Structure 1
């Protein structure tokens, strides 16, 4: 090193032109050239910064680790976990996803992802303490803390507290013996005042307190909206307003008493239950019908509920079930509900049919919007049965995420839902930021796409073991805006993956994509970064008379879209799908391709989940054709994981509300 420095200094002294200024310039350039490799090495070294534990959910945990350096993106974070204080061996988790520098543009949004790692530990036991260990590794070196060990608990399901006050509500039509204390309607019971009709309906002399339980007895609760002293005390707008605060240990519970169906009929009102000012409320066992929006739970930049639980309820003939777009809404549990919209029950029309004048509004095509729409951290949407909406479940297309950590749409679980006949998509992850977990859902009949991501702000967004069948030409995934961080594992998509939107930093493994001989490609690979992965997937190309000759489309490093007729020719050119295979419907025990309408202005046939068998043929090509993914397919049964959502010999998955008859459609 000393000899090298002497030689460079001699060279600098020998060069002379136009005085000492040029001498200094040349000397500076030589020094920069000498030091540049050391500068690059310093930039490649990773430095750990803030480590964040996201709000835990019932079964999953999410983490973020912000970094500096690692310009060459070769740093990794190894994940291990175990039950706390168990002294058991560490289990291996999925590595955290490296994020940073991916650019998103859509609808005026201009966002670049921060440099960080993020990821989840999946399928844990609720209300259990876990120990998690994260090891930051980089061949170029690590500055700061190399290992993080954290203790965190999964959430418990909220339940009524013992010893709380109980209030009874009876319908105006009830004539039997009443339990005490009883009240003439839910408004009176919630506010604690019995003689509050007419001008007195806002009186709140003994409002519910944490731990209180309001039991609604069987009957019809329907306000006469133009009668201001009506029994239900909801004049003109037809809305019940809830404003009290419970606590985690002592939530406020509003539930069916168990002596008959409790029906809240909205009488055509726009909003039925306004819960935007509440905290720690539980609604369970109730039926809602004939209303625009049932639960108005939050408006952007205004107000929103937190720790809201809605379970074992039934929604019928509604425009929307549950909606919040408030970033401060957190920790919802929406579970085991039947949610039925107003859209067409017999035809699968795309929502563009309205724009083209094919179907007028008000004829049950777009009379409903979202079954469930949420924003904010820590929500769980599980085991719901949803039908006849524009979209079944969505994260709000909120826009650029808030800077405050507790206002971001992170750590959101959407799993084991049964979704039937949507005008647009089954699930929209569009406004999600990190650790969006969409797992084990069944979607049958969507006129546009299966799962939408337009955009997700960094990810990871996990799409794991979902089953989807009979989807319009939008295909399995709707991707727009440069979406990074999609982790697509073990799905069975009976449709194409033909999204045209370029997206970086994505990982597709162990999926099945089977076309239905439509006039489109079976798979597109519009990856805009060299660190995206697609491998170990199975494809059934479209073979219809109008299908394009090239079935696989790749975005080359030159930015050109190139088409390929076979999977092997795609692999030869791109290196993708080195272990991918071509399959057909014989990989299943007994499943036929859907028959889709030839033109978009004609409705496609409607199929029913109870009639479809997505189990694999034990002797088919999809068995043992996958790759091991820690914490996703650890329980594979034979030589290697199978492709698709259902591992041969695995336990039966319950889609939708638990307790319903599995051989009968839920809306009947």
Structure 2
């Protein structure tokens, strides 16, 4: 809801330049309606007037009376589907300034025992447990019809679904926040970490979303497939069998910042492929994927800034296939790259590609433990970071750090899928990663000390909160 001036300056060494100042506005944060009707709902199959004394019986009955600005207070109980597919269908829209709100009443334990289908825009869903069944192949928890716009999914719980939230028939400008998602095991495989599949939140190549403060586990991929102009931040993603966040096939302005990703089997972030950049990855903590922190397949322009990338073997693994330039299209600064199992800090093979105008790799910190070689780059092994810098011209201001002396907490007892504790891998005073970074406009001007610190956490600053921000359920489900 803020207005900004944006200065754009373009110059061409072959001649010609221009400067423009534009005015832009960000979307306001969604607000619940005020002054509308507050109507009551209990489980049932029709009837009631919506008062506290005579609530509507069932969501189907309540929806017959819904108008923009209404708030439906759902009282404790188990609600079942009523459309032909056995789903709970919400297809009456609100308006851009008056949502229709479906929320749990105060202290109510509300369970949807069938999947939810959103088929209208300007709806607000809050405080509901959408429950699958561990002994039934429940594929979807929430999905869409008719590409609904401007929907708020806040403070809900999804359990035992293969795909918990999926915009399979489109959608735009959703706010998906403060939800807890515990995915499904594949019923055709033995119970255990290797069998978890599906997606926590699958945006299905749609745009304009904010996905924030969610807690996602026991899926293959945590958050997937934004198309463009999407913010993904402050999510707690852990115990997943494939990737933490995969914006695969995305276009411009995908921003992934201040997420904590722990104990993923393959990769934290996926670039498979990037259809167009820029993408931004800022102040994320990643520990410790089994394959690599980044899945680099086909890349465009990316900014990596102030991330902590801990890989089990290599912090950055080899690109595949070798024909792609990989990280050579990236700007990487103020990151920390650590091999937890004493492998290469970076292993990169981009075929015959060389650094070019897109390449800016400098001011990062590295720890390769007791490994003989720090880097393997284009088939050549380099024992020290200085050897690598002299040979390539990259990371000329990069430094070696030590996990043993730099962090307030660094506990990775075994490779995934063995569990690891939630932790903040914050810097200790005296670590050489403190004040070792470079100033990046509009990203880190608020640093303490003489220069920005490396990694996601500036010494002396408040640590971020990941996952849902408060207790949202009265049925025993709460955040740790």
TM-score in terms of structure 2 length: 0.88
Q: Per-residue deviation at 1:329?
A: 2.2
**CA 1:593–1:286 in 2, change beyond 3 Å: closer, same or farther?**
closer
User: 2:225 — aligned with what?
Assistant: 395
Corresponding position: 1:416 with 2:263: no
SS at match of 1:389: coil
Q: Per-residue deviation at 1:542?
A: 4.5
Q: Per-residue deviation at 1:449?
A: 0.9
Distance 2:302 2:244 in 1: 17
User: 2:376 — aligned with what?
Assistant: 553
Q: Per-residue deviation at 1:368?
A: 3.9
User: 1:543 — aligned with what?
Assistant: 370
User: 1:432 — aligned with what?
Assistant: 250
Corresponding position: 1:191 with 2:64: yes
Q: Per-residue deviation at 1:554?
A: 2.4
**CA 1:154–1:180 in 2, change beyond 3 Å: closer, same or farther?**
farther
Deviation per residue, 1:424-470 (Å, 9 max, x gap): 11111112211110000011100111111111222111111001112
Deviates more, 1:634-643 or 1:365-374: 365-374
Checking the alignment, whether the CA contact within 8 Å between 2:411 and 2:420 is kept in structure 1 is no
Checking the alignment, whether the CA contact within 8 Å between 1:426 and 1:451 is kept in structure 2 is yes
User: 2:345 — aligned with what?
Assistant: 522
Q: 1:605 aligns with which of 414, 418, 425?
A: 418
Distance 2:139 2:191 in 1: 16
**CA 1:254–1:499 in 2, change beyond 3 Å: closer, same or farther?**
farther
Corresponding position: 1:161 with 2:4: no
Q: 1:263 aligns with which of 107, 111, 114?
A: 111
TM-score in terms of structure 1 length: 0.64
Checking the alignment, whether the CA contact within 8 Å between 2:143 and 2:168 is kept in structure 1 is no
Q: Per-residue deviation at 1:553?
A: 2.4
SS at match of 2:253: strand
Q: Per-residue deviation at 1:263?
A: 1.3
SS at match of 2:388: helix
Q: 2:43 aligns with which of 158, 163, 171?
A: 171
**CA 1:660–1:274 in 2, change beyond 3 Å: closer, same or farther?**
closer
Alignment length (residue pairs): 454
Distance 1:142 1:324 in 2: 44
User: 1:219 — aligned with what?
Assistant: 77
Corresponding position: 1:498 with 2:317: yes
Distance 1:499 1:645 in 2: 24
User: 1:245 — aligned with what?
Assistant: 93
User: 1:385 — aligned with what?
Assistant: 215
RMSD of aligned alpha carbons: 2.6
SS at match of 1:586: helix
SS at match of 2:244: strand
Distance 2:319 2:64 in 1: 54
User: 1:363 — aligned with what?
Assistant: 191
**CA 1:233–1:666 in 2, change beyond 3 Å: closer, same or farther?**
closer
Checking the alignment, whether the CA contact within 8 Å between 1:431 and 1:456 is kept in structure 2 is yes
Distance 1:439 1:241 in 2: 33
SS at match of 1:652: coil
Distance 1:341 1:317 in 2: 5
Q: 1:141 aligns with which of 7, 15, 27?
A: 15
**CA 1:591–1:157 in 2, change beyond 3 Å: closer, same or farther?**
same
**CA 1:613–1:129 in 2, change beyond 3 Å: closer, same or farther?**
closer
Q: Per-residue deviation at 1:336?
A: 0.8
Q: Per-residue deviation at 1:319?
A: 2.1
User: 2:446 — aligned with what?
Assistant: 635
User: 1:336 — aligned with what?
Assistant: 178
Q: Per-residue deviation at 1:262?
A: 1.1
User: 2:157 — aligned with what?
Assistant: 314
Q: Within 5 Å, which residues of 2 pair with 1:579-594?
A: 579-592=397-410, 594=412
Checking the alignment, whether the CA contact within 8 Å between 2:103 and 2:125 is kept in structure 1 is yes
Distance 2:280 2:446 in 1: 19
SS at match of 2:160: strand
Distance 2:453 2:195 in 1: 39
Distance 2:8 2:347 in 1: 34
Name structure 2 gaps, 5 residues minimum. Answer: 133-137
Distance 1:233 1:507 in 2: 51
**CA 1:584–1:342 in 2, change beyond 3 Å: closer, same or farther?**
same
User: 1:477 — aligned with what?
Assistant: 294
Checking the alignment, whether the CA contact within 8 Å between 1:167 and 1:181 is kept in structure 2 is no
Deviation per residue, 1:229-286 (Å, 9 max, x gap): xxx5346x321222222221112211112141111123xxxxx1111x3111110111
Deviation per residue, 1:151-209 (Å, 9 max, x gap): 22222222232333333211249xx99626632101111123xxxxxxxxxxxxxxx23
**CA 1:311–1:499 in 2, change beyond 3 Å: closer, same or farther?**
farther
Q: 1:533 aligns with which of 352, 360, 365?
A: 360
SS at match of 1:260: coil
User: 1:372 — aligned with what?
Assistant: 201
**CA 1:625–1:367 in 2, change beyond 3 Å: closer, same or farther?**
closer
Checking the alignment, whether the CA contact within 8 Å between 2:41 and 2:57 is kept in structure 1 is yes
Distance 1:589 1:508 in 2: 21
Q: Per-residue deviation at 1:509?
A: 0.7
Distance 2:185 2:401 in 1: 35
Distance 2:64 2:51 in 1: 19
Q: 1:577 aligns with which of 395, 400, 406?
A: 395
User: 2:141 — aligned with what?
Assistant: 294
User: 2:135 — aligned with what?
Assistant: none
Name structure 1 gaps, 5 residues minimum. Answer: 1-126, 193-207, 224-231, 267-271, 345-358, 397-408, 556-560, 598-602
Distance 2:280 2:420 in 1: 26
Distance 1:325 1:260 in 2: 30
Deviation per residue, 1:340-379 (Å, 9 max, x gap): 11349xxxxxxxxxxxxxx962524435411101132210
**CA 1:526–1:137 in 2, change beyond 3 Å: closer, same or farther?**
farther
Checking the alignment, whether the CA contact within 8 Å between 2:125 and 2:152 is kept in structure 1 is yes
